[in-house]
């Protein structure tokens, strides 16, 4: 069994922000129910190949929810796929890595701390746009995507869905994978 977790912050004020890109990839998949034990919205993949989760713990405590889900369903860290924003990548770029440091991403830091390992998959979604140099990082990641950027966001979401479906069929085998 695989656990696919999209990272973000709960609440309407964070909807469509750069930091909620991980949520955005998974949020349109139907069938989520809030599970109080996991403090997450959770759904089973249509082919029963994976659990999908949207932790409701806020980004910086994502690891708490992911650890609870993984422990309950006996999912090993190597079978956890985390989808999240990455300010080091241009908007629209997607990278997939295994066993990588948090690189300053507090949600990933929380997961590494909770799992006591960095040996899980990361699907990194670029959020870097042209305005980044003018705005502090903490404020930038909480900005909403503009209309022009949403075109790239939708394309990245579509490519990520295609990759996830392929990976669920054949598995992820490389340690670095470039989608776009």
φ/ψ of 85, rounded to 5, equals -70, 155
The CA distance from 34 to 134, in Å, is: 38
Average pLDDT over every residue of 80-95: 95
Find, among 10, 79, 3, 80, the residue nearest to 44 by Cα: 3
pTM of this structure: 0.94
Place of tokens 């990839």: 25
User: For residues 12 and 85, is the Cβ–Cβ distance under 8 A?
Assistant: no
Annotated catalytic residue: which of 19, 45, 105, 106? Answer: 19
Domains and CATH numbers, the chain: 2-178 (3.40.50.1470)
Q: Is 19 a catalytic residue?
A: yes
Q: Which pLDDT does position 175 carry in this prediction?
A: 42
Please write down the long-range contacts of 151-159, taking CB distance under 8 Å and 24 or more positions apart: 152/91, 152/92, 153/21, 153/24, 153/91, 153/92, 155/92, 155/180, 156/21, 156/91, 156/92, 156/93, 156/94, 156/125, 156/126, 156/180, 157/24, 157/25, 159/94
10-63 pLDDT, tens per residue?
999 999 999 999 999 999 887 899 999 999 999 998 778 899 999 999 999 999
| Average pLDDT of the residues of the chain | 91
Tens-place pLDDT, residues 110-139: 999 999 999 999 999 999 977 666 788 889
* pLDDT tier, 174 (very low <50, low <70, confident <90, very high otherwise): low
- Per-residue pLDDT, 99: 94
């Amino acid at each position: 069994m695989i656990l696919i977790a999209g990272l973000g912050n709960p609440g309407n004020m964070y909807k469509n922000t750069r930091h909620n890109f991980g949520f955005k990839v998974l949020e349109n998949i139907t069938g989520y129910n809030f599970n109080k034990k996991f403090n997450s919205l959770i759904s089973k993949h249509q082919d029963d190949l994976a659990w999908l989760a949207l932790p409701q713990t806020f980004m910086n405590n994502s690891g708490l929810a992911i650890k609870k889900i993984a422990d309950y369903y006996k999912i090993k860290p190597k079978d956890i796929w985390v989808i999240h924003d990455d300010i080091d990548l241009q908007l629209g770029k997607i990278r997939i890595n295994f066993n990588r440091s948090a690189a300053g991403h507090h949600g990933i830091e929380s997961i590494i701390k909770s799992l006591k390992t960095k040996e899980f998959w990361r699907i990194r979604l670029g959020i870097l746009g042209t305005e980044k140099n003018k705005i502090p990082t903490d404020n930038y990641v909480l900005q909403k995507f503009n209309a022009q950027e949403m075109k790239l966001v939708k394309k990245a979401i579509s490519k990520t869905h295609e990759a996830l479906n392929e990976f669920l069929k054949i598995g992820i085998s490389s340690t670095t994978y470039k989608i776009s």
